[in-house]
């Protein structure tokens, strides 16, 4: 079994048994973007509690299973419509950025592709630039994905201070992957049942576009999702006829290449896959 890194996992909504299963299948690190709680929070203090949870409790819970837990901070796109709340949350984020497990700003982006959501997205990008943070981007769901991804890519491309190699545009699909890669960003394939991509489609895109600047992740959360989505995809990769080295590049080395642009990230690419235990 090959070690892997899940670059997108909402572990606050998963059980400790999931950490156990992930450890057994070779997971050595997860990164957890800030997320929507299932309801719109009404005060910045609720986000302060959430950021404390992400940076204190969750790393301890993961460490018990030998998994290193990192995080990203923001007000999630689903709450970006409330500009007043967004400004309050943006004001408290800097006090958490120096914490040892915080890799950057994310997952920011668009949900229903509104004017206010775009304004909140731009504010987060400015915060990331001001504090020299990596950026992790959520692209919208279903019929909104193409329009939202296009708006995000055009917004970032028009800002000369953005280094695209420090930006991960997540949840790409067949109709958005090209525009993301062509602009020099990293792209994330999300192994999420029904609303994102299956292992088969993710592997198709890796075969067609190559493995450079592409990662896979589970995005497991409180919806129908799979914390073991990456090892499931690795099984499909082998069944498709891909080598251990090819799989290792996708599930371990590529996340390391993107994430190690933050000095806090402690894993580095390995020439050969490390075997689990």
Partner 1 sequence: MQIEGSCPRTQRELIELEFIEHRTKILDIAAFLDRFDRSVEHNANDDFRIKAFREALKALNSYEFGRVERIQMLLSDVSSELRAERDGQSAYGAAKESEQ
Considering only residues 154 to 183 of the shown chain, the ones binding partner 1 according to CB under 8 A are 173-175, 178
Considering only residues 199 to 238 of the shown chain, the ones binding partner 1 according to CB under 8 A are 200-201, 204, 207-210
Kindly state whether residue 152 participates in binding partner 1, applying the rule CB under 8 A.
Answer: no
Task: Give the residue with the Cβ less far from partner 1, 62 or 206.
Answer: 206
State the minimum distance, in angstroms, from the CB of residue 143 to partner 1.
5
Kindly state whether residue 13 participates in binding partner 1, applying the rule CB under 8 A.
Answer: no
Considering only residues 76 to 105 of the shown chain, the ones binding partner 1 according to CB under 8 A are 78, 81
| CB-based burial label for 56 (10 Å; 0-12, 13-18, 19+) | exposed
State the minimum distance, in angstroms, from the CB of residue 174 to partner 1.
4
Residues 33 and 6: their CA atoms lie apart, in Å, by: 11
Residues 180 and 172: their CA atoms lie apart, in Å, by: 8
Asked whether the beta carbons of 136 and 105 are under 8 A apart, the reply is yes
Residues 41 and 143: their CA atoms lie apart, in Å, by: 26
Binding mask 50-79 for partner 1 (x = CB under 8 A): ----------------------------x-
Count of residues that bind partner 1 according to CB under 8 A? 36
Kindly state whether residue 142 participates in binding partner 1, applying the rule CB under 8 A.
Answer: yes
Residues 141 and 119: their CA atoms lie apart, in Å, by: 19
How many residues in total does the chain contain? 277
- Closest to 219 measured CA to CA, from 69, 4, 7, 53: 7
Q: Which residues of the shown chain bind partner 1 in the complex (CB under 8 A)?
A: 36, 78, 81, 111-118, 140-147, 150-151, 173-175, 178, 200-201, 204, 207-210, 239-242
């Amino acid at each position: 079994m090959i070690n892997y890194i899940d670059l997108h996992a909402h572990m606050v909504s998963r059980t400790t048994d999931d950490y156990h299963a992930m450890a057994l299948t070779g997971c050595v690190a997860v990164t957890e973007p800030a997320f929507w709680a299932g309801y719109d929070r009404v005060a910045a203090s609720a986000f302060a509690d959430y950021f404390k949870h992400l940076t204190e409790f969750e790393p301890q819970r993961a460490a018990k299973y030998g998994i290193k837990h990192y995080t990203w901070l923001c007000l999630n796109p689903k709450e970006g419509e409330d500009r007043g709340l967004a400004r309050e949350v943006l004001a408290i984020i800097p006090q958490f950025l120096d914490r040892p497990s915080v890799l950057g700003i994310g997952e920011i982006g668009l949900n229903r592709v509104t004017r206010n959501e775009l304004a909140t997205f731009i504010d987060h990008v400015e915060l990331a630039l001001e504090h020299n943070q990596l950026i992790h981007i959520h692209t919208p769901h279903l019929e909104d994905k193409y329009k939202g991804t296009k708006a995000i890519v055009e917004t970032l491309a028009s800002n000369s201070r953005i280094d695209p190699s420090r930006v991960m545009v997540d949840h790409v699909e067949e109709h958005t992957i090209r525009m993301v890669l062509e602009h020099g960003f990293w792209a994330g394939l999300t192994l999420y049942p029904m609303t994102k991509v299956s292992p088969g489609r993710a592997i198709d895109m890796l075969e067609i576009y190559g493995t450079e600047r592409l990662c896979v992740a589970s995005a497991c959360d409180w919806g129908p999702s799979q914390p073991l989505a990456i090892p499931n995809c690795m099984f499909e990769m082998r069944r498709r006829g891909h080598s251990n080295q090819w799989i290792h590049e996708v599930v371990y080395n590529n996340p390391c290449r993107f994430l190690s642009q933050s000095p806090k990230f402690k894993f580095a690419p390995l020439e050969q896959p490390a075997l689990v235990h």
